Structure formats: C-alpha cells, structure tokens
Structure 1
C-alpha cells in the first residue's frame, strides 16, 4: 500500500533535495531510492519523470514560483512546490487537483498547519495565474535562460561561441527525452544479427542515423535480454560511438598492436577498439584514475567477451612512464570535461558548473595530451574527444596542444555516415540539437614527425 512517506511525489522531493543540497548525481540518487522502495511500475515512472522533469525545467519553474512568494523556503518546501508546478504545466495527464491534493498532504505530513496553509495558497495562486509569458522578457539571454532553464552565464557563453538561434535550439533539445541507444559488439555479431536476436526477445530497435554500429531501442526490456547479458550489445550514446568510429577511418585497427584508452571507464570506447583488433597479441591498455572504475571496466570487458584483448589498470593519464615512447599505434583521449553535452541525461550539471570549471579542465586536458603525445609512434593517431560543447575544452585545447607539439598535425575528423562532411572545420562538433544525440567533440591528431 502506498503511503505519503513512500509515494512517488514525496520520494521525488527527497531525491531533488539531496541533489540540490548535497550535489548528488540524479541517476545515482534516483537508482538508490528505487532500490530501497517497492514501487509499482507506474509509480517508478512517475518518480523518474518528476525528478528529471523538475531538474530540466528548474529555472522556468522557479521563475513561476517567484511570482507568488519571495520568502526563503525550506529546501523540501521549495522542491514540493516545484514538482507540483511541473505537473501543472508539463504533465497533461495528471489532473491538477490530484497533484494539488497530494502536495497539501505531503506538506501536512512533513511540516505543520502553517506550512500546509502556505503551500495551499501558493498552489491555488499558481493555478489561477497560469504559466508565465516568457516572450515578454525583453533580454534575449534571459529569455533563453528561462525558457530553456539554462544558467545565464552558459547562454551568454554559448551565444558568443555560436549564435542565439543555435543556443535556443540547443536549449529545446536538451529538455527532450533522451533516446536509449546501444552499440553492437562487432566481435560477436553483425548489426542485422543483433537486431534479429533482440527482436526475438521482444526488444524492437532501429538503426542509428548517427553511428554505424548503433541501434535505437524503441521498446522492450533491453537490460533483461540475453543479447545484453551475452555482450552482443552494450549501452552507449550514438555520439560517443563516433570517437572510435572516426579513429577507424584513419587507423587500421585490425593491424594495430597497442592502443591506449587514456580515460577509459566505464569502457565503452575500450570495447569498441578491442572488438576491432585482430592480431593475436594486440592489446588495448584501458586506464582510469579510480580503482573501482578499473573493476567496472574489467566487468564490462568480460561481458563483451573481450577481456583477453584489454589490459585495465589504475593510473593517472598524465603519468605514463609505464609505456615506452613511440609504442602506441593510437590513443583515445576521451578527456575529463564539464559534460555540458550530456544535459539531456544529466540535467542537474547545468546548475553545478561554472566557466571556471572549463578553464581548469582545459589545463588537465592539455596535460593528458602532452603525456600521451610521446607515446605515439610516427604516423599514429590521437583521437581527442569530450562530451561538452564549450570551445574552451574543445577547439582551444586542440589549438594549444598543436602549438606546443609541432610534430602533430590536425586531420579532418570523418565518420562512417559522413556527418557534417561539408563543414569547414577539421574538428567535429555534434550539438544536442543536431541529431538528438549527446553533445560531443572529436579531433583527430596525427603524429607526423
């Protein structure tokens, strides 16, 4: 029986409070709550929708809330009001009276008569006034910030790097539901074979328009399928698949003997490289700074049937003394970054990051590239990638690296589906608004001397 304590709305308040006060990751916090509470499928879905939806639209909802109260609210009261306002505007199938009544019951259960009365008054006022008219906001930066729920500093920075129309399109795209994409493990099956097995297990898919080895899951229990358990497919965003796909356009991985994945966990790109290796003694060195993540890489490689081709080890990618100079055919440097291309999947990070974070990460990225560079043999490739869309961590990092390493040249990044083939830039930037996949950046660096 569902009580107020374990109702999806009350649990959503708890999750959101922890994310906002403690900086918890939405996916991890939500998963923990789902494991601790016995919820119906419908209640799990509502809880998940409330958490991600409120985070995605937090600034828009706060703007609406501020019209009815400017007093400092207890964190749980604020989150209760925000999830209720979210339901009013975004969940058409949820009757307003149902959302209102449960919010009042939660306020009464968590607080006291005064708080219950306050919550009741705010919600009735919101229902009476309706959704605010953001078009009336004259400043375009503030308007996009409010409609997209992106911090003003980020809108301003993106507008300087792209243009306002592009930023508005990004803002719309990041608040749409994320697709579940999977990569076919070519060491075990072809795309058609994987699709057929998944279909036989009730998992319907369609080929990705972004990545050659990608499938989009349309319905079915992917994680409960034998195709997943047996390592025929693995979960990976379409954009993330492009790093190794682009590497394979300029480096024959079937002839490679040693490849480094410098920042490997959880091992998606490591597995992608390992599946392409064919020489008996060929290896991918999969490096991660955290020991528990090395164990995760090993677990994932075992499921994919690629453990013998991968040497996973704990270590800092800025310290590679264990590798001989000129020993690598190629390296994938999927560098630590601000992750601002992942806002569709991790909405809370937009409120946690600052431009200073990008500047700090730029220095770390350069240090990793500088450590990897001497390990690459002449003619070898570094594929540098990030899951952010800020140029400080992307093109500017690449430019600074090339200025300090004249023995490397920037090659045009190419993909199997010739994405943005007519662009002028040699690097490849995928925006969240381009294909409905994550925002991503790839540069192809070749050692020429």
Structure 2
C-alpha cells in the first residue's frame, strides 16, 4: 500500500473518518504515522484538519448555495471543498490558483472525471459570487451558531444559563488555537527549575497564571513530547484547568486516595507527586476499561511515582463490591462527561454530542458519586470535577447528590493561585474564555 504524500488528500481522508465518528486527535496521529510528509506538509495538514473541524458549520452554510443536490454528494467531496474554503479564508500565504489546482488534483486522484468537473465548477462559482457572510444572519441564535460553528442547542443552553454576553464571549473564543501547557513533575523538579531549563533549551516557556504547577509553551521547534524533558519524566502534557482538581485537594503525604475515573492518569500522577512512598501514601486509580490500565501505569512509571499508584480496572459504580466503607482519606471523581469544555482542543465534540447524551451522562455522574460516597472517611473531602460547562452535568448533579446525601456539605473550592476569588458560589467554574484554557468545573464536598 502506497503511503499518502499529499497533505490535502490526507486531510480529506482524516476529516471523512472524523465525520464518521473517529476522534480527531487519534485519527491525526494514526494518519500521520501512515503517511510520508515533510515537516512543512505535516503542519499544513494539521492546520487544514483542525481548521475545517473548527469552522465546519460556517462552511456548510456558505457552501449550501453552490450545491444543487447536497444529499447526493459524497462526504469526502464535501470535506474536500471545505479544505479549499479553509485555505481561501484562513491561509493567506497560499495563492488562490494553488488552492484550486491542488484541490482539483485531489478530486481527480480520489474520484472520477465527473467529480473533478463538479469540484472545478463549485470552486470557480465561489470565486465569482463570493461566500456569504454569516454575520448578516438576523436571528441571534442562528448567527452565533453559524459564526462560531456550534450547534444551536448548545448556543441556546449557554444563553439560557449564562446570558447572551457571556455565551457570546465563550463561543467566539472556541476557535482560537489551544495553548500548549505542561505540568512540572514536582516529584523530581520544581516548576521554577523546569522553567529555567526549558528556556535554556530554546523553548519559549512561561509560568501558568491558572495552575501553580503549570507551564505554557508558546513556541517550540522540537515537539515537547519528543523532548528529553518529557521522556525523562520532568513534565507531562496537561491542560492548565485539568490541574485544578488535584490542587483543590488537601493531600497529606500518607493519604490513601481514590481516583474513581482515572485514565489516562494525568490527575492520578499529579496526586501521586504529593504523596510519599516512604509514608505509604497511595492513590488507587480506577477505570472501567481494562485496556486503560496500561497508559496509567506507563505514565506513573515515566513520572517516577509508580510506588504511589495502584491501577485497577473497575467501574466506579461498583466500588461497593471491592472496597470497605470509610477506607479513603480523599476521593476524586473526575467524572465522564460531554467534554463541552474541550471544544477548542477537540473541535469535533460539538458535532457529536446531543442533549440526550448530557441527560444520560448526568445520571452516570450521580451514580458514581452515590457509589463512592460511603467509601470516604468522615471528615474526608470528595472532589467532583468535569471538563464541561453546563449545569446539567455540574451544579445540578451536585445539588441532587447533596439532597440524597445530607452528610455531605459543599465548601469553597480553593486553588493555589486563588482563582476567581471574588466569585459568589462555592464551586469553581472555569469557562473557555476566562483564561483560554479548557472549560472545567470543580466542587469540594466534605463528609460531616
């Protein structure tokens, strides 16, 4: 099988598979390994894939007038046209003639002469008539949905819960490039020492303003995951917001802690750095999928905290079958969720989730909290977190849990950098536009 050497053709293939349900980050990694692209072509390919995913609904709106029978057009042809539109609107350095020539070449390579002629005709029609400006849409919800490329039900939900101004700010921030952030592994190095070493090695690194262990890398010639810093376990890749749940936990070196939904182990290993093997401190890391044990253990080994981590395949809803009541000093439930706070990093999430998914997930979240609650010692802290930004999976779940378990009391969620110190609620709600990190929710519950 010949390896693909054309970045635009590869982008069309990746986008088509993502449209069919693949996770973009995993599909990109897989397709890059199976292709032969130069460094410049890899960057172009990645830019096109994520650019199209970010603006898919905008392109769908703009392309519609140029397709007579959209339902009869193969999905890969639609994705090919989107790649051309992205290059025309967002990649200023590529001449229009080159975009047209390369797009038509891919149409010919992947299809037949009829598709080539159709693609050629659509491209020239778009060039003559120009693309519609979605900012001219009168209806607010439709305009926000099309301009931000976020389904209307999510737009309506955000407006209803947060108001028009905050919802608009969030939506307009989602298509900005995600920051690259890493967590200093405090088991082996301080953040300040790591910052100095990174900058001396040529990385443009600065301290995070969100997380005390976080570092934001603005620019790097060598991908951080290929660096000695990563391989030797001095750091791990983690979003700034994702570091906050562990920050909010008052961990003692000798604690026995349950991480109820642990894979791939980012928060597990962060907790483990605050424990002491000498004092028998341990974090029991659960995940429902047996194959997720390997990445948890690999991360723990790379970050030199294997002695503090015990990985176990178990559905957190079944902890009652395995652990005795009152066993754990602290429990973290970083619950499975819709991931709507991750749209900037995983843009296809917005198209794949439905209101029914959120309803189902909220029931799972409540079931996990209910199952782990008896396993916490009296006086211990239960920390609940998600990477989503809607009440159905956050505040509403906690409200119902506390009604069912009056022995738990919601208390103020603290972070090392005292984020949102002037907020009116005890829980911590990080939105994607606040710090341009992932959207996150963290709530602190004490067992009385």
TM-score, scaled to structure 2:
0.96
1:28-59 superposed Cα distances (whole Å, 9 cap, x missing partner): 11111100112100000011111100000000
Contact 1:274–1:284, Cα closer than 8 Å, also in 2: yes
Contact 1:4–1:105, Cα closer than 8 Å, also in 2: no
Report what 1:11 is aligned to.
10
Matches within 5 A, 1:28-427: 28-71=26-69, 72=71, 73-220=73-220, 221=222, 222-247=224-249, 251=250, 253-278=251-276, 280-320=279-319, 321-427=321-427
Of stretches 173-182 and 199-208 in structure 1, the one that deviates more from structure 2 is 199-208
Contact 2:155–2:167, Cα closer than 8 Å, also in 1: yes
1:320-361 superposed Cα distances (whole Å, 9 cap, x missing partner): 132221111101100000001000111111111001101100
Q: What are structure 2's unaligned runs of at least 5 residues? A: none
Contact 1:264–1:288, Cα closer than 8 Å, also in 2: yes
The CA distance in 2 between the partners of 1:259 and 1:377, in whole Å, is 11
1:180-217 superposed Cα distances (whole Å, 9 cap, x missing partner): 10011111111111112223333231000100110001
Of stretches 26-35 and 107-116 in structure 1, the one that deviates more from structure 2 is 107-116
Q: Offset of 1:379 from its aligned partner?
A: 0.8
Change (3 A) 1:212 1:52: same
SS at match of 1:333: strand
The CA distance in 2 between the partners of 1:40 and 1:135, in whole Å, is 37
The CA distance in 2 between the partners of 1:81 and 1:13, in whole Å, is 9
Q: Offset of 1:153 from its aligned partner?
A: 0.9
Query: What is the alpha-carbon root mean square deviation over aligned residues?
Result: 1.4
The CA distance in 1 between the partners of 2:81 and 2:259, in whole Å, is 45
Contact 1:265–1:288, Cα closer than 8 Å, also in 2: yes
Contact 1:144–1:171, Cα closer than 8 Å, also in 2: yes
The CA distance in 2 between the partners of 1:296 and 1:376, in whole Å, is 26
The CA distance in 1 between the partners of 2:41 and 2:290, in whole Å, is 36
SS at match of 1:94: coil
TM-score, scaled to structure 1:
0.96
The CA distance in 2 between the partners of 1:167 and 1:414, in whole Å, is 25
Of stretches 108-117 and 44-53 in structure 1, the one that deviates more from structure 2 is 108-117
SS at match of 1:276: coil
Count of equivalent residues: 441
Of stretches 162-171 and 367-376 in structure 1, the one that deviates more from structure 2 is 162-171
1:110-156 superposed Cα distances (whole Å, 9 cap, x missing partner): 22222211111111111223232223211100000000000011111
The CA distance in 2 between the partners of 1:26 and 1:70, in whole Å, is 29
Q: Offset of 1:256 from its aligned partner?
A: 4.1
Matched, 1:26 2:24: yes
Q: Offset of 1:225 from its aligned partner?
A: 2.0
The CA distance in 1 between the partners of 2:65 and 2:387, in whole Å, is 36
Change (3 A) 1:150 1:47: same
Q: Offset of 1:6 from its aligned partner?
A: 2.7
SS at match of 2:299: helix
Contact 1:89–1:131, Cα closer than 8 Å, also in 2: no
SS at match of 2:60: helix
